[in-house]
Amino acid sequence: MNKKLIALLVIAPLLVSCSGQKKSQYHEEWVKDTNGFDILMGQFAANIENIWGINEVLIAGPKDYVKYSDSYYTRSHINFDSGSITIETIAGTDPMASLRQAIITTLLIGDDPGNVDLYSDANDIQISKEPLLYGQVLDNTGQPIRWQGRAASFADYLIQNKLQKRTSGLHVIWSVTIPMVPNHLDKRAHKYLPLVRKAAEEYGVDASLILAIMQTESSFNPYAVSNSDALGLMQVVQHTAGVDVFRMKGKWGKPSRSYLLDPANNIDAGTAYLSLLQKSYLGGIQDPVSRRYAVITAYNGGAGSVLRVFSSDKDRAFSLINGMSPNEVYQTLTTSHPSGESRRYLYKVNQAQRSYHRY
């Protein structure tokens, strides 16, 4: 969500209402923050490349939790899309101890990402009494893992029976891979249902649409980050949709990273932004199904880019859309939108939403 086109959509109306001084100040802060994030990412990637090698750089993403520890020599990777967990190490001294500790920590991480820095090797993960992966991973006896003792026993089993070894450059990489249960996606979706239903009722957005957006954006990964610094379950960007939502709530500025990484805040902000698209930016579309298609596409690429598919004149774009059937609107957006990502996004979210209508 919230690529460069959304920046134009959100920032433009904000700046029009500001004085020249505030306009300049806001733009400078936005550029400064963006440049700072780019520098951080570059330094982080360089640290990984220096230790693991250029072919082994792995960084967290919207559907991938990746956490380094042990001075970057050990890492945990949860692929929330495919449902697999890989823990691996290139530690030269006692690699099995490093691997064992990383397995235990990964199995017991909590669902609050606010205090975990995915862009460092800091050992800042606190073992939780309510692990994020509880019920999504079963040990060798078929039991879910909540406590450290069971996690440690499972780690010992994995190292003894599932240990893998490969080489990359000069490194020997030791690893174990843990499959998640087949319905892991549904289990995570169910976990966030109370928050989704609350936001749906408050903002007048279908719960099924919120869930479909969450699945498409992050596969219900609360640690989700992206190279555009989109954050959390619904991949909200501080400087664009975040600013717009804060303005809607009567607040100045932008939400912090820790604010958007909190699942409750993230779902609230993402749903509020959907309501803005639905009721304000694209409220001129009369048919609710056609408007839903436009809102989904706009969540990824911006409302302005959606309207320009039909006409460079906003009023004429609304008129043309209102003269089309919902199927014609869908076909136009999935074939004529200039962004291939946005074209695919509408298809993915629309397909996903069908499976959530029961909610």
- State the catalytic residues: 217
Other beta carbons within 10 Å of 136: 22
Distance between CA atoms of residues 219 and 291, nearest Å: 24
3-class state of residue 256 by DSSP? coil
User: Which one-letter amino acid corresponds to residue 53?
Assistant: G
Within a 13 Å sphere around the CA of 86, how many CA atoms are in the beta-carbon half? Answer: 13
Determine contact, residues 95/89, Cβ cutoff 8 Å: yes
Beta strands in 98-182 (DSSP E): 164-168, 171-179
Determine contact, residues 346/334, Cβ cutoff 8 Å: yes
Q: Which structure tokens are listed for 96?
A: 């099995």
CA-to-CA dists, residue 146 to 74, 111, 181, 233, angstroms: 23, 13, 15, 23
Distance between CA atoms of residues 26 and 30, nearest Å: 6
Distance between CA atoms of residues 98 and 95, nearest Å: 5
Which residue has tokens 């306009």?
23
Question: What is the total residue count of the chain?
Answer: 359
DSSP letters, 306-341, are HHHHH-SSHHHHHHHHHTS-HHHHHHHHHHH-S-HH
Distance between CA atoms of residues 88 and 175, nearest Å: 4
Phi/psi at 89 (5° precision): -145, 150
- Mode of pairing for the β-strands spanning 84-89 and 64-69: unpaired
